[in-house]
């Protein structure tokens, strides 16, 4: 029994102490005995709660994350997926790693408009300096997006530690960019931008895949800007201006050539049209002449001796009729008595009439 309770009962009994020959030993009530037992249990529960709060032997893992559990300092091969997990405090530890897509911006112009840091998954790094084929210094702004593979996360952390980005992504990106840029002259870089971007992406992907266990999955590589030396920029601008001027002159020459060809085509078309019209007229005359000749031939075939004599008789009858009216008229007969005959009216010396049939 606690000392304070003993003092309480001793005072209540007039200061009599237990163990005397003539005294009675006081007995505490039952509720106090039960209270003492409950207090011990309560203290034990409170101690367990404090230990539970301090040790925190559970963890909640969100989507896009995995847990890396270590038992006595040794990483377990299987990652912990999203959900509620318990572990043994002081023996086991669980650390959460992000498996969502992350970005590194290698840039000369850091952005203040978005949050940066490991928590947001977006980091800024200095632009990549590289030498071109002739040794000129070039700066490259590039963004690389990637993610840690969840299924191999424990092995990756065991091999590279939690600073795996600095040991895998950053060295590979800088090495590949410098290697690709070194294959070109500075003035070729803007012209072959897409080709260079493809080579950088393929090179980064191959080097990441060559790492043991292929720990990282490459999402995208965006070549944002190629920063050339000022002299090279001026040279490129001069070349562009000269090229634009040459293109303009060539365009004007082509336009003049097309105009000349158009006029020549129109003139040729007009000449061909006149030629076609003249040929048509000549063909028409020829056809008409051929028809007339054919008619004459056919007519000649129809003029037999009997027809000619009949025609002469008809004409002679016409002259006879005329002589009855003008008896002073003169008639000249062609040799052989063939038509036409000529009749001259003797009454009017200035007027002559030729009758032909």
Whether residues 186 and 108 share a domain: the answer is yes
CA dihedral over 140, 141, 147, 148, signed as positive or negative: positive
Whether residues 270 and 285 share a domain: the answer is yes
Whether residues 154 and 117 share a domain: the answer is yes
Whether residues 114 and 222 share a domain: the answer is yes
Q: How many CB atoms lie within 10 A of CB 149?
A: 17
* Residue-level pLDDT at 246: 85
Inter-helix orientation angle 193-209/169-181, to 10° = 140
- Average pLDDT (218-243) is 88
- pLDDT of 181 higher than 90: yes
Report strand pairing: 83-86 vs 341-344.
unpaired
Of 191, 209, 228, the position where a domain reaches its end is: 228
Separation CA 65–CA 68 (nearest Å):
10
pTM of the model: 0.56
Whether residues 112 and 174 share a domain: the answer is yes
- pLDDT of 223 higher than 80: yes
What are the Cα distances from residue 223, in Å, to 23, 64, 141, 149, 193?
A: 100, 27, 6, 24, 8
Whether residues 141 and 206 share a domain: the answer is yes
Whether a cis peptide bond, with omega within 30° of 0, leads into 37 is no
Whether residues 207 and 92 share a domain: the answer is no
Whether residues 257 and 189 share a domain: the answer is no
* Residue-level pLDDT at 322: 72
* Residue-level pLDDT at 114: 47
Whether residues 255 and 224 share a domain: the answer is no
Number of structural domains (the chain) is 5
* Residue-level pLDDT at 27: 61
Separation CA 81–CA 87 (nearest Å):
14
CA distance between the termini of the chain: 179
Expressed as residue numbers, the domain containing 237 is 231-302
Whether residues 181 and 143 share a domain: the answer is yes
Separation CA 114–CA 120 (nearest Å):
9
Of 258, 275, 302, the position where a domain reaches its end is: 302
> Could you tell me which of 190, 92, 62 has the C-alpha nearest to residue 132?
190
Whether residues 293 and 274 share a domain: the answer is yes
């Amino acid at each position: 029994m606690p000392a304070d309770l003993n003092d309480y009962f001793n005072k209540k009994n007039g200061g009599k102490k237990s163990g005397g020959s003539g005294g009675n030993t006081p007995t505490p009530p039952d509720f106090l005995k039960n209270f003492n037992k409950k207090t011990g249990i309560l203290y034990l529960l409170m101690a367990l709660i404090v230990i539970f709060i301090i040790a925190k032997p559970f963890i909640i893992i969100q989507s896009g994350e995995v847990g890396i559990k270590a038992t006595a300092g040794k990483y377990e091969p299987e990652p912990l997926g999203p959900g509620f997990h318990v572990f043994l405090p002081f023996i086991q530890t669980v650390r959460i790693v992000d498996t969502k897509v992350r970005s590194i911006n290698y840039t000369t112009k850091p952005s203040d408009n978005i949050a940066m840091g490991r928590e947001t998954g977006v980091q800024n790094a200095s632009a990549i300096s590289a030498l071109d084929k002739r040794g000129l210094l070039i700066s490259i702004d590039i963004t690389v997006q990637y993610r840690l593979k969840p299924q191999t996360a424990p092995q990756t952390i065991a091999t590279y530690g939690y600073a795996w980005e600095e040991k895998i992504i950053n060295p590979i990106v800088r090495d590949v960019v410098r290697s690709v840029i070194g294959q070109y002259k500075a003035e070729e870089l803007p012209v072959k931008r897409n080709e260079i971007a493809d080579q950088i992406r393929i090179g980064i992907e191959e080097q990441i895949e060559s790492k043991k266990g292929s720990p990282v999955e490459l999402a995208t590589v965006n070549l944002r800007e190629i920063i050339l030396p000022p002299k090279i920029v001026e040279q490129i601008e001069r070349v562009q201006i000269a090229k634009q001027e040459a293109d303009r002159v060539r365009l004007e020459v082509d336009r003049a050539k097309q105009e000349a060809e158009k006029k020549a085509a129109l003139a040729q078309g007009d000449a061909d049209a006149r030629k076609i019209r003249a040929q048509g007229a000549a063909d028409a005359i020829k056809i008409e002449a051929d028809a007339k000749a054919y008619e004459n031939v056919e007519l000649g075939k129809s003029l037999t001796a009997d027809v000619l004599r009949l025609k002469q008789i008809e004409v002679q009858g016409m002259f006879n009729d005329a002589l009855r009216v003008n008896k002073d008229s003169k008639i000249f007969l062609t040799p052989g008595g063939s038509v036409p005959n000529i009749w001259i009216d003797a009454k009017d010396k200035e007027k002559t009439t030729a009758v032909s049939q």
